[in-house]
Structures are given as C-alpha cells and as structure tokens.
C-alpha cells in the first residue's frame, strides 16, 4: 500500500508541476505554439479514448456488474456535462459584462472563476488517479499519462486566461500552481477511502471513464474538426492513433 501511495502522490505532483508550462509558453513563438497545441490536442484525445477502452473499462466490467458500471459511466458523463453547461452559462455572463469599462479595472472576475473551475477539475483528476492506482500500478500510470497529455494544452490555455484577466505573469503562475495542487488533495481522499473500502474503486473508475469520454468527445474532438486541411487532418489522425498506441503499449507492463 505504501508503494501505491508513493506512485500516486508522485504522479499528481508531476501533474501539478505541469501548471508551470505557462512560463514555457511565453517564450515560444505564437505560430509554433499553435502548431504544438494542434498536435497535443489530437494526442490527448487518442490517449483519453485509449485509456478508457484499453485500461479502465476492462477493469470496471471485471469487478462490477455490467448495469451498475454502465450507470456510473453515464453518471460521469452527466456530471461533466452539467459542470461544463454551468461554466458556459457563467462565462457568457462574464463576457457580456466585459463591455462595461468598469470591469477592466483590476482582476476580471473571469480569472477567479477559471481558477475555481480548474481547481475542481484538478481535485477530480487527483481522485481519478488515486482510484486508478488502487486498481493496479499499470492502470494508474496509464491514467496519469492520459491526464498529463490533456493537462498540457489546458494549462497553457488557463495561463492565458489569467494573464488576460489581469494577473501578472508571476501571480498567474502561482495561482495556477495552487489550483493544480488540489489534485494532491483529491488523490489523498481517494486513497484513504480506497484503503477503508476498495469497493468504491470501480465507481470512481466508472466516473473517470465517463468524464474522459465526455472531455475527449465533446471538447477535444470538436476542436480537431475545426481543421479541414487534408494534410493537417491526416496529421491529427496520426496523433490520435499514436495516443491510442501509447495506451496499448502500457499494457505490456501489466
């Protein structure tokens, strides 16, 4: 159990450190950055789909009844749908408020809202990773890798939002890091619950599967479809396949 704690805490610490990627993004040419993001989004989509279908679902349907597992997966999808719907509603109101010059003084509320939303997301990511490591180190590493690929482009975007909202570069990096560190809280709670009652692990994994499917299907794939150039589309497909293959290769250590 100590090994699982070390693996899980080490994984979320590495993921939390990704929040500092914004500092690197500042030094990258905008054109090159867009090109990198283009590939990372496709790679993240493939990794998330691969993690769900190659690692998480086989574990879920082995340790739980088919109906219960399916209901928990659907619950995960609905939770992420509801959260994104709420955030879109809040964001639309904040954007409308931006037309008022008074909102350009100090830190714009959208910056704080993004920190709260990202913090909740990181908390859930930590819980997901903790549940994955309770299943097996291989599943935990696969889930961590998928989360990392998803977090890199997201953290670059979050950093840009904070800068746009009025945070200085230093404060944007600091607050983004603090928000990302909530993943450590999430993994700790998941491991404590798992140590007391590992029967909840399957439910956590099912929620993770639903969340990953929703993120990949509703957020990442639509972004990929915004590109219609044949060469770029083939490059996207290749990146998605690479993400899936990487998830498959991780099964070799199981």
Name the token pair of 155: 């953290």
pLDDT of residue 104: 44
Higher pLDDT, 105 or 44: 44
The residues, any chain, with a CB within 8 Å of residue 129's CB and separated by 6 or more, are 8, 11, 12, 15, 140, 143, 144, 147, 183, 186, 187, 190
Average pLDDT over residues 179-200: 80
CA atoms of 249 and 233, how far apart (whole Å): 24
C-beta atoms surrounding 167 within 10 Å: 21
**Mean of pLDDT over the chain:** 79
Average pLDDT over residues 151-178: 79
Tokens 């928990």 locate to 72
> Could you give the dihedral angle defined by the CA atoms of residues 165, 112, 131 and 83, in that order, rounded to the nearest 10 degrees?
-90
CB-based contact 209:60 (threshold 8 Å): yes
In this structure, what DSSP letter does residue 227 have? -
Tokens 């099964």 locate to 251
**Considering its fold, how many domains does the chain have in total?**
1
Higher pLDDT, 151 or 236: 236
CA atoms of 75 and 72, how far apart (whole Å): 5
CB-based contact 193:22 (threshold 8 Å): no
Helical packing angle, 137-165 and 230-249, nearest 10°: 140
Name the percent of the chain lying above pLDDT 90.
11
Helix/strand/coil (H/E/C) assignment for every residue in 95-145: HHHCCCHHHHCCCCHHHHHHHHHHHHHHHHHHHHHHHHHHHCHHHHHHHHH
CA atoms of 200 and 238, how far apart (whole Å): 36
Instruction: Please spell the DSSP secondary structure of 9-32, one letter per residue.
Output: HHHHHHHHHGGGHHHHHHHS-HHH
pLDDT beyond 50 at 27: yes
CA atoms of 172 and 163, how far apart (whole Å): 6
Burial status of residue 82 (CB atoms within 10 A of its CB: 0-12, 13-18, 19 or more): exposed
**pLDDT tens readout for residues 64-109:** 578 888 998 999 899 888 877 776 665 555 555 544 443 444 676 6
Q: What are the helix (H) ranges across 166-200? A: 169-180, 182-196
Report in angstroms the alpha-carbon separations of 91 from 5, 20, 161: 37, 24, 12
Task: Quote the domain boundaries for residue 49.
Answer: 2-98+106-253
């Amino acid at each position: 159990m100590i090994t699982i704690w070390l693996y899980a805490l080490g994984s979320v610490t590495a993921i939390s450190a990704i929040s500092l990627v914004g500092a690197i993004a500042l030094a990258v040419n905008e054109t090159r950055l867009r090109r990198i993001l283009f590939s990372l989004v496709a790679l993240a989509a493939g990794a998330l789909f691969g993690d769900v279908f190659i690692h998480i679902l086989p574990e879920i349907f082995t340790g739980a009844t088919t109906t219960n597992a399916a209901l928990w997966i659907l619950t995960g999808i609905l939770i992420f749908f509801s959260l994104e719907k709420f955030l879109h509603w809040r964001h639309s109101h904040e954007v409308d408020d931006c037309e008022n010059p008074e909102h350009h003084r100090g830190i714009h509320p959208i910056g704080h809202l993004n920190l709260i939303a990202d913090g909740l997301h990181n908390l859930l990511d930590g819980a997901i990773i903790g549940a994955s490591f309770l299943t097996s180190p291989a599943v935990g590493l696969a889930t961590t890798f998928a989360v990392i690929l998803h977090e890199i482009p997201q953290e670059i975007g979050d950093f840009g939002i904070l800068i746009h909202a009025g945070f200085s570069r230093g404060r944007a990096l600091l607050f983004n890091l603090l928000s990302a560190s909530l993943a450590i809280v999430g993994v700790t709670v998941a491991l404590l619950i798992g140590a007391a009652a590992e029967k909840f692990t399957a439910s956590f994994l099912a929620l993770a599967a639903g969340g990953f499917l929703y993120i990949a299907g509703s957020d990442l794939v639509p972004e990929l479809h915004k590109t219609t150039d044949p060469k770029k589309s083939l490059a996207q497909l290749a990146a998605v396949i690479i993400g899936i293959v990487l998830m498959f290769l991780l099964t070799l250590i199981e």
